[in-house]
């Protein structure tokens, strides 16, 4: 979809549909909505008087222009109470608007920027958002909301696509900042949709080798360095935890390494690690059959890390980033890892395998150690790691576990700014007792109690003194409901948070 900005009169936009808005409690619309209302002969005010348009959050009212405007329809979006309006709501209302208009066959859509300008603060006592912030959120919401994964299915709405979204602004002085906001919004939204594509792919298509190929292709397009390491290199490196998990599959594992050198010497070096289990059956400790098909998405952490690194490169942020993805399948076979086996990780630590379905932490152990060897200054891993985190936090928040409070605060703030909710979890030293092994230095599960925490404590053994945050996205990597800019399937969660984190680290 083409997104462009024009300076002009919103009532003169020519296209199929126009999006305007209304806050709850407003009786006489002003600004751009007021200009459209005047052109419609006061139609919006009449609908307000009879109670058909209230401005309540989530309300959508389609008004036919009947030749009074050079568009066929006007969509009035309710913004709710002004004091409740946020940039996240800009994303949501933008997504809902374009999805509604796509359903009715609109191809050329015009829109005003929702919630932008100091007038919002003047009327309500709130600070409002500037035009650039609202424009970026609008673009993100529209592009994320229109996403569909249809590679393997003929879609009944294949012919219905919005071809152009035009943002109409009156103030020419805001144009440059808004154009940059469109560029940024497009880059982060497209990266999120790349991650969604990867998560939605079936395991027979997205093998570890194929994930490596797609990472390499993305690297070529965005100017990243890419290395793909297979079993011979992994054996030489001593990556026996990753190789141990891979033993049960006929698909060879990969260690995918992406590097972006945009920063100055001595500046921040961000390490990103993503769990890349392209299908997880649980191995010998096999999972129940019900809902096992969702385990094609057990590489959502890898997808987020790969896509975020590509976005950072496209944005040309002045930061050094190293991304590491351990990719393999976890399957049962005659050669598969068994409960009771002992592995020696790349760091030299020995691990007793209690449950082969706790494989994510095994592959991450080698990847985290490798990232630390690259002298990263900050380290974040993203993983669909534990069902225990879903039990604790549900599907609304991702769990955060950290060795460094300052970095944790930055990660949580980066998520909040993008609408991706992150909840900090405890990391008390007493939890270490639960993963002590009688026959090795550590065991790969501490039992049911505090399962998400003991998984994080396991990972902490492989990061040394490097400031580190672990993000457990087991509950947030996919959704079975369509709401706002989220569509069924992979969410692409943490792509935008990681990009935002890279921006925040530059201010240190």
Tell me which of 170, 198, 216 is where a domain ends: 170
Of the candidates 350, 506, 502, 377, the one whose C-alpha atom is nearest the C-alpha of residue 440 is 350
Residues 256, 259, 265: CA angle, nearest 5 degrees: 150
Could you tell me if residue 181 is inside a domain?
no
pLDDT digits (tens, 9 = 90+) for 401-419: 999 999 999 999 999 999 9
Average pLDDT, rounded, for the chain: 95
Cα torsion 207, 208, 211, 213: sign: negative
Could you tell me if residue 379 is inside a domain?
yes
Could you tell me if residue 383 is inside a domain?
yes
Contact between 456 and 427 (Cβ < 8 Å)? yes
Do 209 and 112 fall within a single domain?
no
CA distance 239 to 249: 16
- What pLDDT, on a 0 to 100 scale, did the predictor assign at position 126? 40
- What pLDDT, on a 0 to 100 scale, did the predictor assign at position 508? 72
CATH code of the domain containing 468 = 3.40.630.10
Please spell the DSSP secondary structure of 106-144, one letter per residue: --EEEEPPTTBSTHHHHHHSS--B-HHHHHHHHHHHHHH
Do 155 and 258 fall within a single domain?
no
Of the candidates 476, 452, 298, the one whose C-alpha atom is nearest the C-alpha of residue 388 is 452
Helix (H, G, I), strand (E, B) or coil at 343: strand
- Total tally of structural domains belonging to the chain: 2
Tokens of 170: 């009156």
Do 330 and 286 fall within a single domain?
yes
Which parts of 316-399 fold into alpha helices (H)? 360-373, 387-393
Do 322 and 239 fall within a single domain?
yes
Could you tell me if residue 177 is inside a domain?
no
Do 111 and 249 fall within a single domain?
no
CA distance 364 to 379: 12
Q: What is the pTM of this model?
A: 0.96
Could you tell me if residue 400 is inside a domain?
yes
Do 209 and 317 fall within a single domain?
yes
Residue with tokens 């501490």: 446
Domain residue limits at 11? 2-170
Which parts of 295-429 fold into alpha helices (H)? 300-315, 360-373, 387-393, 405-418
CATH code of the domain containing 20 = 3.40.220.10
Could you tell me if residue 179 is inside a domain?
no
Tokens of 199: 């998560």
> What CA–CA distances, in Å, run from 434 to 51, 130, 165, 340, 446?
60, 50, 54, 17, 5
Do 55 and 194 fall within a single domain?
no
Tell me which of 119, 141, 170 is where a domain ends: 170
Mean pLDDT of 376-397: 98
287 is catalytic: yes
Catalytic residue among 287, 349, 416, 421: 287
Instruction: Please name every residue paired with 400 in a beta bridge, in sequence order, or none if there are none.
Output: 424, 471
Do 211 and 144 fall within a single domain?
no
Mean pLDDT of 464-483: 97
Do 111 and 166 fall within a single domain?
yes
Could you tell me if residue 312 is inside a domain?
yes
| Residues 6 or more apart whose Cβ sits within 8 Å of residue 86 | none
- What pLDDT, on a 0 to 100 scale, did the predictor assign at position 263? 83
pLDDT digits (tens, 9 = 90+) for 97-108: 999 999 999 999
The pLDDT-based confidence of 507 (bands split at 50, 70, 90) is confident
Instruction: Please name every residue paired with 2 in a beta bridge, in sequence order, or none if there are none.
Output: 164
Contact between 111 and 96 (Cβ < 8 Å)? no
Q: Cα 249 from chain centroid?
A: 29
- What pLDDT, on a 0 to 100 scale, did the predictor assign at position 159? 66
Tell me which of 143, 170, 197 is where a domain ends: 170
Do 372 and 489 fall within a single domain?
yes
Tokens of 100: 């509604």
Could you tell me if residue 343 is inside a domain?
yes
Contact between 360 and 348 (Cβ < 8 Å)? no
CA distance 305 to 492: 10
pLDDT digits (tens, 9 = 90+) for 118-137: 344 433 334 567 999 999 99
- 11: phi > 0 → left, psi -120 to 50 → alpha, else beta; which? alpha
Do 208 and 156 fall within a single domain?
no
Of the candidates 435, 410, 269, 275, the one whose C-alpha atom is nearest the C-alpha of residue 350 is 435
Do 212 and 84 fall within a single domain?
no
Contact between 114 and 55 (Cβ < 8 Å)? no
361 is catalytic: yes
Catalytic residue among 361, 443, 461, 496: 361
């Amino acid at each position: 979809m083409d997104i462009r900005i024009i300076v002009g009169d919103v009532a003169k936009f020519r296209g199929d549909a126009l999006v305007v808005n209304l806050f709850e409690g407003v009786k006489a619309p002003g600004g751009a909505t007021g200009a459209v209302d005047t052109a419609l002969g006061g139609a919006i005010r009449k609908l307000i008087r009879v109670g058909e348009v209230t401005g309540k959050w989530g309300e959508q009212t389609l008004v036919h222009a009947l030749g009074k405007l050079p568009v066929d329809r006007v969509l009035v979006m309710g913004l709710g109470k002004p004091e409740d309006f946020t940039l996240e709501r800009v994303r949501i209302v933008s997504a809902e608007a374009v999805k509604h208009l796509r359903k009715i066959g609109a191809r050329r859509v015009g829109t005003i920027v929702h919630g932008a300008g100091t007038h919002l603060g003047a009327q309500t006592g709130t600070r409002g958002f500037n035009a650039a912030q609202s424009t970026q959120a609008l673009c993100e919401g529209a592009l994320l909301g229109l996403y569909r994964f249809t590679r393997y299915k003929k879609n009944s709405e294949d012919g219905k696509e919005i071809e152009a979204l035009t943002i109409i602004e009156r103030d020419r002085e805001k144009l440059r900042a808004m154009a940059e906001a469109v560029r940024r919004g497009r880059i982060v939204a497209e990266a999120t949709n790349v991650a969604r594509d990867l998560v939605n792919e079936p395991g027979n298509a997205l093998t570890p080798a194929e994930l490596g190929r797609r990472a390499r292709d993305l690297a070529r397009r965005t100017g990243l360095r890419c290395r793909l390491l297979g079993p011979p290199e992994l054996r030489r490196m001593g990556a026996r935890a990753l190789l141990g998990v891979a033993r049960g599959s006929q698909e060879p594992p990969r260690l995918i390494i992406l590097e972006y050198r945009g920063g100055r010497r001595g500046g921040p070096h961000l390490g990103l690690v993503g769990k890349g289990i392209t299908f997880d059956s649980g191995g010998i400790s096999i999972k129940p059959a019900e809902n096992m098909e969702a385990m094609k998405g057990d590489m959502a952490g890898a997808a987020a890390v790969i896509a975020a690194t590509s976005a950072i490169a496209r944005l040309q942020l002045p930061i050094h980033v190293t991304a590491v993805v351990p990719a393999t399948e976890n399957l049962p076979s005659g050669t598969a890892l068994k409960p009771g086996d002992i592995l020696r990780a790349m760091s030299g630590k020995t691990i007793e395998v209690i449950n082969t379905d706790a494989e994510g932490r095994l592959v991450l152990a080698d990847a985290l150690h490798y990232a630390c060897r690259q002298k990263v200054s900050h380290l974040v891993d993203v993983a669909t790691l534990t069902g225990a985190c879903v039990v604790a936090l549900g599907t609304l928040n991702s769990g955060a576990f950290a060795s460094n409070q300052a970095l944790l605060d930055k990660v949580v703030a980066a998520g909040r700014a993008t609408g991706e909710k992150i909840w900090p979890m405890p990391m008390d030293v007493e939890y270490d007792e639960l993963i002590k092994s009688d026959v090795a230095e550590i065991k790969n599960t501490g039992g049911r109690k505090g399962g998400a925490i003991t998984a994080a404590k396991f990972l902490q053994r492989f990061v040394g003194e490097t400031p580190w945050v672990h993000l457990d996205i087991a509950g947030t990597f996919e959704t079975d409901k369509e709401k706002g800019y989220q569509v069924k399937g992979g969410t692409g969660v943490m792509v935008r948070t990681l990009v935002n984190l890279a921006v925040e680290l530059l201010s240190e």
